[in-house]
Chains A and B, each alone.
Chain A
Amino acid sequence: MNWLLSVLIFLPLSGALMIALTGHNKTIYVRWAALTISTVELSIALGLWWIASPDSDGYLYIVQVPWIPTMGIQFLLGMDGLSLLLVLLTTLLVPIAILVSWRSISHNWSTFAALLLATQAGIIGVFLALDLILFYVFWELMLVPMYFLIGLWGHERRLYAAYKFFLFTVTGSLLMLVAILGLYFIHGEQTGIYTFDYFKLLHTNLSGDTGMWLMLGFFVAFAVKIPLFPIHSWLPDAHTEAPTAGSIILAGLLLKTGAYGLLRFCLPLFPEASIDFAPFAMALGVVGILYGALLALVQEDIKRLIAYSSISHLGFVVFGIYTWNQEGLHGAMLLMLAHGATTSAMFATIGMLEERTGTRLLSCMGGLLSPMPRLGAMLLLFTLSAMGMPGLANFVGEFLVLAGVYQVSASLAIAGAMGIVASAIYLLWMYQRAMLGEQSSDRIWVDLDRREMLILTLLAVTVLWLGLYPAPFLDYLQVPATGIIESNPAIMTGTEDAFR
């Protein structure tokens, strides 16, 4: 079954090429072709999930093909439980993004679909690549089509947003490239083997300062994507200006690549440096939680509000990752999935709302629950999930993270838990302004149609499933989480207290 990993990457890539070449002005054909390809992707991912046993050690699937042997570059893909679930999320959200755009994208569907599928290939590649150069290639691959998706189909200030998005992420990824090369040469000098193979690089001996600088190179690239507090400013613009499908891919998937990078590369490759850095990273996480929640309260633009709430939620993810313990890591990973489902659902619902109201400004909405009860009920469900209502997706992750953080530092946990109250403050205010109160205008509203109900029902089922019975997901996270914990030298040498 290993070859399926390559299919997961090359199917959307070749699909994108095919659609771009043959789909000009054939909107209906393009829509269905893109939907078919992404659904096949989803079924492959579901199949891989079905046949993989969560208890098997290490990687579930591996593909290893030489690529540029003289430089030690390979085509090395591997899927463990974490990448399995993230690939599953990716393959779920792409058909949803296509369905959401079904009517709202009016021009140039072939380019749109091709870019969307190319982004998907890039994202799946990022989640699977275990050769650092290959990883870098996919990392950039998902960036370029995303830039065009925002720049071509976005809203009023789309060019500014696309430019800002590109500027921030490229700066980060260049630093990562430098760090990758640094690691390559240091490892080469130490062992005589020049390779970008992740497994071989894991055992590089890195002295204090060098390790810290290389780690920071990776960290900055990932922190931009997450995004962490001081370098988050691209996100509100990109989220707000992107078309609905773009926001879904951005919030649901692109942000997860940053957190995934931390889990896959930052911590295991540079354990010593990461331990020294953990207090700072956690501080950045908690600042992000509170700062995002605070700023979300005063946003007029509903998409911008959700963007700030993403900053707040991803703060929890970073928070959990750097606890380096079972609860924290499991919570962070599960929250990545939960946030992916919840926030994409929010963006999808808000996209539908925007199509009807013609505005994203909360001050122009109000009282929309009575004419559109289905939309209102769905938005309430996802709002509650984002608020960390138990029984829905985000709660499981957030609570695990906080339980993990409490074991490291009670005061940080208290600060982070304030985010629980803060999220209720801004989300309920948002819901009230959009849905409750006096109806803003007496025009004729149309409630959700079948296609829209299908989209939101799929996401609602995911949100409820993650919240009520997360075991089928959590089981796959056991091995990756344990692997990361074991990479912690403080735990291996039994000096756990030093870390605390």
Chain B
Amino acid sequence: MSQFLWLIPGSPMLGALIIALLGGYLKQRHFSILASCAAAVAFLTVLLAWLMGAATSQPLQQTLYTWIGVGNWMPTIGFTLDRLALVMVSVVSSIGLLIHIYSITFMAGDSDQRRYYFFLNLFLAGMLLLILADNLLLLYLGWELVGLCSFALIGFWYRDPLRASAGRKAFITTRIGDLSLALGIFLLFNEFNELSVSVLLANATVQWETGSQMPILAALLILGGAIGKSAQLPLQIWLPDAMAGPSPVSALIHAATMVTAGVYLIARTYPLFELAPQVQWSVAAIGTLTIIYGASAALAQNDIKRVLAYSTISQVGYMFLALGCGANALALLHLTTHAFFKALLFLTAGTMIRTNDNEHNIHNLGKRGNHSSLIRWCFLIGAASLAGFPIITAGFYSKEAILTATWSAPTGPLLWAFAAFGSLLTAVYIFRVYFFVFQGSRSGSPMPPIPAPMTWSLSILALASLVVGFVEFPEGWPGLHLWSDWLRDELGSASHPTLATAYSLQFIACVLPLIGIGVALVLVRREKLGFELPLAAFLRTGWNFDALYQIILIRPYFTLARFFKNVEALLIEGTLQKMTRSGMTVATACRDGLEYGVLNKSITGLLAGLRLGHMRLSATQNGLLSRYALMISAGAVFLLGYWLW
């Protein structure tokens, strides 16, 4: 099996390559088929890995070649498939395939499918590469590749400058995180002369003491990278704007897969975080704050995709919270369930937006009241799962488990209180959308039929949003407890509260979504009567973070750049011109003064003198012999006198 590992990232990569190189010979409709086939090969390879027993065997490994070989800096193009990676590649390749299939009809009318499917395939390749990478540099390659594809797909409809800017904003913001990750790689390499993830982690646990400076630094730098990619505070600003991309892109990149890459990164390097408990706690703290931030901002949004974007920020916060409490397996479980229900929500939203003439506003969508029952049911399932509706949804199992695990972490009750409040808000904001869009809708008017590929994708996602959670029933309940046990060796396990506490926590987790749905009902009724939430404007702008960064970062940076540009123009150009001018002045002065005034004059003077002398002397040549004889005798007398005297 391990010799086929390269196929997982390789087949979408090949797909992208073929589309890029041979695209000129293909028709528009061929691109979607080709790209979907490439995604399918990746998915089937993952499936094959499951069938061949990758879930229980030792990690599979494959090394293709040494990428850059300088001394100890020996990153390879090599892959490792352990259980953590297996979960991730399963999620990514299955949702990736579904979204490729969904796109076949969703993007059918677009005239630039070559670019769309090139980047979609490239994204899938990058994401799978980052998961399978056995060293930090290859991981970084995948990390940047998905960032690039995210940039290109957010700005897919680039003729609109706002969409193009949204892509740029996403790239640059995440790159600030990438800088931190890069520095983390340099630090680890400097300490251990090694880039392989497994060797690094093994060395770190042996050589570093818990709580000492180095692991703290390393964990902080890695956390910085994770925050950027996963849109956590304070680098979350790019995600709401990223909704400018096509809906399938939002579902795949900005909900299910890429934004959870930060969670994967922390889970992958969790031994470093265990060596740095302070950092681990701050992971939990950041997660908790982000939960509240995202949920509160989602409450006030009117654009359906922006609700889902803030919801993603908030839900990834739960994964960070779990990681911060050491419950890595539960973070991964929530990652999985979230991937399904959030992709489902985005795709239903996308379908609604498409069938209602690009209408994003939830009030207007509700007024049109033109939704098929499939869409209605799919959205309801997604919303219920997101809210954590007890027992029957997957979201309940993953979120409840995280809440319970939070309790016994350091400052657990406080974190738990915030997270529980966030879970209440979650039910409120998503059912606010549901009630606005679907309440009182009459499906009387003619509906365009939903094409088959879309129906399939939605149905599969809806089913998964309900059942995936059954792999891990709450503690103390009958039923399966596969997940934590299976991942314990690789990801460790968190401490649990006592069973009595757990039961009461579970009870609260069951009740909160129900209360939230009730609150949403009241809220929608009040809003329809014209009441606004308190602080609605503040919440709608995402707590004004954009304006803040505009003032403290972007404007100063531009001002600084313009300042130096002027300095350079004035100082260097000025000096140079001054030098040239003073050179010219000196030259002119030399010309006028020295050349004309002194040298020329002296030469003309000399010439004049010579001419005068010549005239005087030539006057003596008068041809009179007597005068000559007189001069000769006078000369002779003079010489004789001089000699004798």
B73 touches A327 (CB 8 A): yes
B-contacting residues, A354-402, CB 8 Å: 367, 369-370, 373, 377, 384, 389-391, 396, 399-400, 402
Q: Bound complex: CA of A429 vs CA of B558, how far in Å?
A: 12
Tell me which of B68, B137, B168, B562 contacts A474 (CB under 8 A): B68
Known contacts A295-B561, A369-B158; decide if A391 and B145 are in contact (CB<8 Å).
Answer: yes
Q: Identify which of A291, A369, A403, A432 contacts B189 (C-beta below 8 A).
A: A403
| Chain B minimum-CB-distance residue to A367 | B159
Across-interface contacts of A417 in B (CB, < 8 A): 179, 182-183, 186
Q: Is A17 an interface residue (CB 8 A)?
A: no
Instruction: Determine, out of A133-141, A179-187, A434-442, the stretch whose residues face the partner at the interface.
Output: A434-442
Which one of A298, A326, A469 contacts B562 once the chains associate, using CB atoms below 8 Å?
A: A298
Nearest residue in A to B186 (C-beta to C-beta)? A406
> CA separation between A321 and B183, bound complex, in Å?
20
Given contacts A420-B179, A425-B172, A436-B164, A400 and B189 within 8 Å (CB-CB): no
Give Cα A98–Cα B176 distance, bound, in whole angstroms.
40
Interface pair A439/B159, CB less than 8 Å apart:
yes
Known: A420-B179, A436-B155. A428 touches B168 (CB 8 A): yes
Q: What's the minimum C-beta distance from B16 to chain A, rounded to whole angstroms?
A: 12
- Whether B68 lies near A295 (C-beta < 8 A) is no
Which one, B66, B161, B186, contacts A403 given CB within 8 A? Answer: B186
Please, which residues of chain B bring their CB within 8 A of the CB of A490? Answer: none
Q: Given the interface contacts A298-B565, A390-B140, does A402 sit within 8 Å of B190 by beta carbon?
A: no
CA A396 to CA B158, docked complex, whole Å? 30
Q: In the complex, are the beta carbons of A396 and B179 less than 8 A apart? A: no
**Per a CB cutoff under 8 Å, which of A291, A327, A402, A413 touches B564?**
A291
Contacts of B73 in A (CB 8 A): 326-327, 400, 403
* A413 & B183 in contact (Cβ 8 Å cutoff): yes
Q: Is the CB of B141 within 8 A of A390?
A: yes
Whether B164 lies near A402 (C-beta < 8 A) is no
Q: Answer yes or no: A63 CB below 8 A from chain B CBs.
A: no
With an 8 A cutoff between CB atoms, is A264 at the interface?
A: no
B70 interface contact, C-beta 8 A: yes
B183–A400 touching, CB < 8 Å: no
The answer for the CA separation of A455 and B14 in the assembled complex, in Å, is: 24
Chain B, Cβ-Cβ closest to A389: B144
Tell me the count of chain B residues lying within 8 A, CB to CB, of chain A.
Answer: 49
Given A391-B145, A410-B187, A413-B186, decide whether A418 and B179 contact each other with a Cβ distance below 8 A. Answer: yes
B residues 426-456 in Cβ contact with A at 8 Å = none
Closest chain-A Cβ to B24's Cβ sits at a distance in Å of 9
Do B141 and A391 touch (CB < 8 A)? Answer: yes
Contact B161 A420 (CB under 8 A): no
Which residues of the other chain, A, contact B68 by a CB distance below 8 angstroms? 396, 400, 470-471, 474
User: In the assembly, what is the distance between CA of A428 and CA of B155, in Å?
Assistant: 12
Q: How does the 8 Å CB contact mask read for B567-580 relative to A, with 1 for contact and 0 for none?
A: 01000110010000
A437 pairs with B176, CB closer than 8 A: no
Chain A's nearest CB lies how many Å from the CB of B243? 18
Residues of A contacting B557 in the complex (Cβ-Cβ under 8 angstroms): 294, 297, 425
Which of A418, A424, A468 counts the most chain B CB atoms within 10 A?
A: A424
Contact B148–A384 (Cβ < 8 Å) = yes
A330 is an interface residue with CB less than 8 A from chain B? yes
**With A400-B73, A437-B158 in contact, do A414 and B183 touch (Cβ < 8 Å)?**
yes
B581 CB to closest chain A CB (Å) equals: 13
Partner of B175, one of A377, A424, A436: A424
A432-B160 Cα distance, complex, nearest whole Å:
11
Q: Is B165 engaged at the interface, CB distance under 8 Å to the other chain?
A: yes
Count the A-B residue pairs with Cβ separation under 8 angstroms: how many?
126
Interface residue A18 (Cβ < 8 Å from any Cβ of B): no
Binary contact readout B408-442 vs A (1 if CB under 8 angstroms, 0 otherwise): 00000000000000000000000000000000000
> Is B43 among interface residues, defined by CB-CB distance under 8 A?
no
The minimal Cβ–Cβ distance linking B584 to chain A, given in whole angstroms, is 13
Q: Are A399 and B159 in contact (CB under 8 A)?
A: no
Q: Decide yes or no whether B71 CB sits under 8 A from chain A.
A: yes
The minimal Cβ–Cβ distance linking A419 to chain B, given in whole angstroms, is 9
B560 at the interface (CB under 8 A from A): yes
Contact residues in B for A438 (Cβ distance below 8 Å): 159, 161
Asked if A428 contacts B172 (CB within 8 A), the reply is yes
A28 contacts partner chain B, Cβ-Cβ < 8 Å = no
Q: Are A421 and B176 in contact (CB under 8 A)?
A: yes
Say whether B137 contacts A399, CB under 8 Å.
Answer: yes
User: Could you say which residues of chain B place their CB within 8 Å of the CB of A407?
Assistant: 190
Task: Name the one of A233, A330, A367, A471 contacting B572, with C-beta atoms under 8 angstroms.
Answer: A233
Evaluate contact between B187 and A469: CB separation under 8 angstroms: no
CA distance A403 to B561 in the complex (A): 28
Q: Cα distance A373–B576 when bound, in Å?
A: 42
- B159 and A429 contacting across the interface, CB-CB below 8 Å: no
Is A164 an interface residue when CB atoms closer than 8 A count as contact? yes
**Residue of B at shortest CB range from A477?**
B70
Q: Let me know if B303 is at the binding interface, CB within 8 A.
A: no
Decide: A437 and B71 in contact? CB cutoff 8 A: no
A330 and B73 alpha carbons, distance in the complex (Å): 11
The contact string, 1 if C-beta is below 8 Å from chain B, for chain A 453-479, is 000000000000000111100100000
Q: Given contacts A326-B70, A417-B179, A420-B175, are A389 and B558 in contact (CB under 8 A)?
A: no
Known interface pairs A327-B73, A400-B68; A295-B564 also in contact (CB < 8 Å): yes
Residues in chain A near residue B477, CB distance under 8 A: none
Closest to B152 in A: A380
Complex: A384 Cα to B148 Cα, angstroms: 9
- A414–B73 alpha-carbon span in the complex (Å): 19
- Chain B 178-202 residues near chain A, CB threshold 8 A: 178-179, 182-183, 185-187, 189-190
State whether A402 touches B561 (Cβ < 8 A): no
Interface residue B65 (Cβ < 8 Å from any Cβ of A): yes
A298-B558 CB under 8 A given contacts A425-B172, A436-B158: yes
Q: Is the CB of B69 closer than 8 A to any CB of chain A?
A: yes
Is B171 engaged at the interface, CB distance under 8 Å to the other chain? yes
A164, A331, A420: the one contacting B182 at CB < 8 Å is: A420
Please indicate the chain A residues that have their CB under 8 angstroms from the CB of B186 in the complex: 402-403, 406, 410, 413, 417
**1/0 contact trace for A1-24 toward B, CB 8 Å?**
000000000000000000000000
Contact B183 A432 (CB under 8 A): no
With a CB–CB cut-off of 8 A, which chain A residues contact B140?
A: 390
User: In whole angstroms, how far apart are the Cα atoms of A188 and B260 in the complex?
Assistant: 68
- CB-defined contacts of B187 to chain A, threshold 8 Å: 406, 410
Q: How far is the CA of A294 from the CA of B556 in the complex (A)?
A: 12
Q: Are B560 and A294 in contact (CB under 8 A)?
A: yes
Cα of A439 to Cα of B164 in the assembled complex, Å? 13
- Known contacts: A298-B562, A330-B70, A389-B148. The answer to whether A399 contacts B158 by CB under 8 A is no
Nearest-Cβ distance from residue B355 to partner chain A, whole angstroms: 27
A-B contact pairs, 27 of them (CB 8 A): A233-B568, A298-B558, A298-B565, A326-B73, A327-B71, A330-B70, A330-B71, A331-B70, A369-B158, A384-B148, A400-B73, A403-B185, A403-B186, A406-B186, A410-B186, A420-B182, A421-B176, A421-B178, A428-B172, A429-B168, A432-B161, A432-B164, A436-B158, A436-B164, A437-B158, A437-B164, A471-B66
A-B pairs with lowest CB-CB distance, top 5: A390-B141, A406-B186, A436-B164, A326-B71, A436-B158
Write the residues of chain A forming the contact surface with B, with a CB cutoff of 8 angstroms: 164, 233, 291, 294-295, 297-299, 326-327, 330-331, 367, 369-370, 373, 377, 384, 389-391, 396, 399-400, 402-403, 406-407, 410, 413-414, 417-418, 420-421, 424-425, 428-429, 432, 435-439, 468-471, 474
Show the binding face of B for A, using Cβ within 8 Å.
Answer: 20, 65-71, 73, 115, 137, 140-141, 144-145, 148, 151, 155, 158-161, 164-165, 168, 171-172, 175-176, 178-179, 182-183, 185-187, 189-190, 557-558, 560-562, 564-565, 568, 572-573, 576
Having A367-B159, A402-B182, one finds 11 other A-B pairs with CB under 8 Å, namely A164-B576, A299-B565, A384-B148, A389-B144, A391-B141, A402-B186, A424-B175, A429-B168, A437-B161, A437-B164, A470-B68
